[in-house]
């Protein structure tokens, strides 16, 4: 393994690197989100955008990836990289970073990314800003990394002064996905130098858990409920609307903290960040923590009987009224999902 040099010349580190995430040989959406943001950063820095992918027999996914405007795809292949393991992935990626010296490294703040990123950062001798919701480049070229702090009550912007790379994990659903382009990217294929002995903790079996509710991050329509529901049974009403228009039920932190619905349904800074085509907020006041998690939705509808609720100022369509009157009326007026998305 290359040795960490802590007395580095930061001017020698160039490029933006995205660490791609795959599961069972399929690229995850977070990779496209990171590429979209990485391209913006690379353009501001006037440097190249690279993506590193680890796996085995992924030619089809590499073909897809090559049409997203990346300057170079570096693919490390080995049967030992087919399934994610901390030891193997951290070794390959940290060696690559020390050899190629990218200025910025982006990782998804997923279960895999949150395990991998701190280990890579430690191996290459740099810091890590976790769970970022915004990235930008300062006038002096440093990476501005913004993340929630103090329980989501304020946003902190962090700057890495003297170490390289500048490394961040990025919350899924926050950044816009990269767009397809006509020209294919250059692909560099490398046989990974990984041995069985390198992997201390091995994956014996993978058990997939089937959940009843679809993912919030993939949903085109989300109907969320807050404290204004008054009871957990209120989510049954929202579920009826969701079932009719092909939506997914979400919730505010207040509803989750009250025990009315599971945490994996929470939208906001301390929950899931979403970008649906339609977001319907029912009985949600519009606290800054919640708005940070859904404010980039294409169309926002607010249903709240408090005409002074902050959510009304954000909404594209605002309905002042009791949600238990408004939601049934909506269900009577709406025929199907296609109609509501027009």
Q: Is 239 left (phi over 0), alpha (psi -120 to 50) or beta?
A: alpha
Question: Do 87 and 116 form a contact (C-beta atoms < 8 A)?
Answer: no
Question: 29-42 in b/e burial notation, b at 16+ Cβ within 10 A?
Answer: bbbbbbbbbbbbbb
Residue at token pair 């946003």: 155
Residue at token pair 């902050």: 310
Cα atoms found within 13 Å of the Cα of residue 269, Cβ hemisphere only: 20
Q: Which residues are paired to 190 by β-bridges?
A: 76
Residue at token pair 């501005």: 144
- Virtual torsion, Cα 51, 176, 172, 153, nearest 10 deg: 130
- So what's the pLDDT on residue 2? 47
- So what's the pLDDT on residue 1? 46
Question: Do 165 and 17 form a contact (C-beta atoms < 8 A)?
Answer: yes
- So what's the pLDDT on residue 208? 64
pLDDT digits (tens, 9 = 90+) for 63-99: 999 999 999 999 999 999 999 999 999 999 999 999 9
Overall pTM > 0.85? no
pLDDT digits (tens, 9 = 90+) for 184-238: 899 999 998 888 887 877 777 777 665 556 788 888 999 999 999 999 999 999 9
Residue at token pair 């092909």: 246
CA of residue 226 relative to chain centroid, distance? 23
Which helix H or strand E contains 240, and what residues bound it?
helix 234-245
Question: Do 42 and 48 form a contact (C-beta atoms < 8 A)?
Answer: yes
**Domains of the chain, earliest start first:** 10-198 (3.40.50.620), 221-341 (3.40.50.1220)
Of the candidates 327, 240, 229, 239, the residue with the CA atom closest to the CA atom of residue 284: 229
pLDDT digits (tens, 9 = 90+) for 107-165: 999 989 999 999 999 999 999 999 888 899 988 889 999 887 766 567 788 888 888 89
- So what's the pLDDT on residue 152? 59
Q: CB atoms < 10 A from the CB of 60, how many?
A: 11
């Amino acid at each position: 393994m290359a040795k960490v040099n802590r007395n580095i010349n930061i001017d020698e580190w160039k490029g933006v690197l995205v660490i791609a995430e795959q599961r069972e040989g399929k690229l995850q959406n977070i990779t496209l989100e990171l590429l979209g943001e990485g391209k913006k950063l690379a353009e501001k820095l006037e440097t190249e955008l690279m993506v590193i992918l680890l796996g085995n027999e992924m030619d089809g996914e590499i073909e897809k990836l090559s049409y997203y405007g990346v300057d170079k795809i570096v693919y490390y292949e080995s049967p030992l990289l087919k399934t994610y393991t901390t030891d193997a992935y951290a070794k390959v990626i940290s060696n690559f970073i020390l050899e190629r010296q990218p200025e910025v490294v982006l990782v998804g703040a997923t279960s895999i990314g949150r395990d991998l990123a701190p280990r890579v950062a430690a191996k290459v001798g740099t810091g890590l800003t976790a769970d970022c919701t915004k990235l930008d480049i300062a006038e002096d070229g440093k990476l501005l990394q913004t993340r929630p702090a103090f329980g989501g009550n304020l946003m902190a912007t962090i700057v890495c002064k003297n170490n390289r790379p500048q490394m961040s994990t990025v919350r899924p659903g926050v950044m816009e996905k990269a767009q397809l382009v006509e020209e294919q990217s250059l692909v560099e294929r490398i046989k990974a130098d990984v041995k069985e002995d390198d992997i201390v903790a091995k994956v014996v079996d993978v058990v997939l858990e089937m959940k009843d509710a679809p993912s919030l991050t993939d949903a085109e329509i989300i109907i969320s409920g807050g404290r204004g529901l008054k009871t957990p049974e209120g989510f049954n009403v929202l579920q009826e609307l969701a079932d009719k228009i092909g939506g997914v039920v979400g919730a505010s932190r207040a509803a989750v903290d009250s025990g009315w619905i599971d945490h994996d349904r929470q939208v906001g800074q301390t929950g899931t960040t979403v970008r649906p085509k339609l977001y319907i907020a029912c009985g949600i006041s519009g606290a800054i923590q919640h708005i940070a998690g859904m404010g980039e939705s294409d169309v926002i509808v607010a249903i709240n009987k408090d005409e002074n609720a902050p959510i009304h100022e954000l909404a594209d369509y605002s309905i002042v009224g009791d949600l238990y009157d408004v939601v049934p009326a909506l269900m009577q007026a709406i025929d199907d999902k296609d109609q509501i998305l027009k």
